[in-house]
Amino acid sequence: MIDSRPTLLGFNPYVIPWQAEVMELMRRDFDYSTGNLEILLSGSYGSAKSILMAHLCVTHCIKNPGARACLARRALPDLKRTILKEVLEHIENDLIEGIDYRYNRAESIIRFRNGSEIICMTWADKRYKKGRSLRLSFLVIEEIVENDLEDKEAFDTLRARLRRLPDVRENVLIAATNPDSPGHWVYKHWIEPSVKKYFPNRHVFYSLTEQNIFLDQIYIDGLRESMSKKEADRYLRGQWNDLRSNYIYYAYDTDHNFRDESYMVDPKFPVCWSFDFNIAEGKPLSSVFFQFKNGAMHIFNEVVVDGFRTRDNLEEAQTRGLLDYKTNYLIRGDASGKHMDTRSKRSDYDIIKDYLSNETKINFAMEVPPSNPPVRKRHNLVNAYCCNDLGVRKLFVYRDAPTADEGLRLAKLRKGSQYIEDDSDRFQHISTAIGYGLYRQVKTENMKTISSGTM
């Protein structure tokens, strides 16, 4: 070992208190003769978990000649984008590539001049046993809760490969995650009350978003505005809670989000018309009308038609005067409607476009996405608009949209599913149309903000 070892000066783990506690436990307080140290960083958004793991991993290799650290995550693209990138950025300013270390980009291996190395491991291919030949002294697992119970085999395999290098005293497993459901196996491994009594080598450090002094308060407030209280409890305040409940839109409250009056359409703002096309026996073709005004979504009418013809929904809307407003219309909704309609050679949106062009005089624009948003993101966004962590409500339903009120109150997940809605209820399709329309609105507003350079 060369006496004048390189140092990492660009990071100080003693600025944020919880990081200092992790450092002291690992480098001073833990007795490695009793076994391996297992640390869970249960942190909120922006709480600086990854940079601490990168620092501990690199310094482990520098301080222990012949050490072998493993960076692990379920999928290789995610690993390269997160923890591997963090490690490489961590060393580039203080260490000299070609002298202090060499990086094999083809194999994603970092080799230090003292014989230590950092390797990578993933298991999205379900080949959990491929790590059995490894000998490790340090293991980093990024976003550990993205692994289900089946993937736990990879965790168990890699964990068993620690303490295989007799010349390296410091043997550590450190995993990071945002909090998840208390039903997750990670909670059972590290956090359940009995763990501390029977497994004293397992330690949990909770880090909150607000503890990172390098984050702008405006950024934190923006996160709170975009999350429901339940989400913020998990992702900002580090609570392990179950976002799933009997009902999908748990933040919706009829007493506060429903207005028992008819809405007056404001001609200064466009009317948004959003569709859901998942129709079959007992599953009506549903659409919802709303205006997005001063940052709030006003859902003021709906069309729910049993049948198989897209045109039926359009004719019903026209008959009821919903296409008579003296303003522009924005057509949004289910991306599956862009594909060939099951009842004809045209797509649902082709039918809508032709009808509005030939049978009405309204000004309209088609705002149809190439694909639907992730279901979980759509649910979370609607909940945040129903009531965000700041206690602000930005979604309102009016008396002429009773099915929308019913859907937001009662829509639930399919039994045994984490994200898929139970579409056996007629009202569910309206709540889905609301989510599609709102997601597009927020995405459009975000793009305007980026293009104007105000972010």
Q: Same structural domain for residues 199 and 289? A: no
pLDDT digit string, tens, across residues 349-376: 999 999 999 999 999 999 988 888 888 8
Q: Same structural domain for residues 85 and 174? A: yes
181 inside domain: yes
Per the structure, the complete domain to which residue 427 belongs is given by: 254-451
pLDDT band of residue 424 (cuts 50, 70, 90) is confident
Among 190, 215, 240, the domain-final residue is 215
Q: Can you tell me the distance from the alpha carbon of 22 to that of 302, in angstroms, rounded to the nearest whole number?
A: 55
Quick one: CA dihedral 307, 309, 312, 317, positive or negative? positive
Where is pLDDT greater, at 194 or 4?
194
pLDDT at residue 451 in the model: 46
Task: For residue 394, give the CATH number of its domain.
Answer: 3.30.420.280
- In the chain, how many domains are there? 2
232 inside domain: no
Whether 38 shows a pLDDT value over 70: the answer reads yes
Q: Same structural domain for residues 23 and 73? A: yes
Find out whether 235 and 220 touch, Cβ atoms under 8 Å.
Answer: no
DSSP assignments along 61-75, one per residue? HHHSTT-EEEEE-SS
10 inside domain: no
The answer to whether the predicted template modeling score (pTM) of the entire model surpasses 0.75 is no
> For 53-107, where are the E strands, in sequence order?
68-72, 101-104
> For 95-243, where are the E strands, in sequence order?
101-104, 109-112, 117-121, 138-141, 172-177, 202-207
Q: Same structural domain for residues 291 and 404? A: yes
Among 154, 185, 215, the domain-final residue is 215
pLDDT band of residue 417 (cuts 50, 70, 90) is low
Find out whether 203 and 37 touch, Cβ atoms under 8 Å.
Answer: yes
45 inside domain: yes
Out of 120-134, 231-245, 380-394, least confident range = 231-245
240 inside domain: no
37 inside domain: yes
**Average of per-residue pLDDT across 151-171:** 96
pLDDT digit string, tens, across residues 233-268: 777 777 787 666 668 898 898 888 999 899 999 999
Q: Same structural domain for residues 131 and 191? A: yes
Task: For residue 77, give the CATH number of its domain.
Answer: 3.40.50.300
pLDDT at residue 279 in the model: 57
What's 130's DSSP letter? G
Q: Can you tell me the distance from the alpha carbon of 305 to that of 351, in angstroms, rounded to the nearest whole number?
A: 16
Q: Same structural domain for residues 259 and 193? A: no
**Among candidates 333, 359, 360, which has minimal Cα distance to 347?**
333
371 inside domain: yes
73 inside domain: yes
pLDDT band of residue 339 (cuts 50, 70, 90) is low
Q: Same structural domain for residues 58 and 125? A: yes
pLDDT at residue 450 in the model: 44
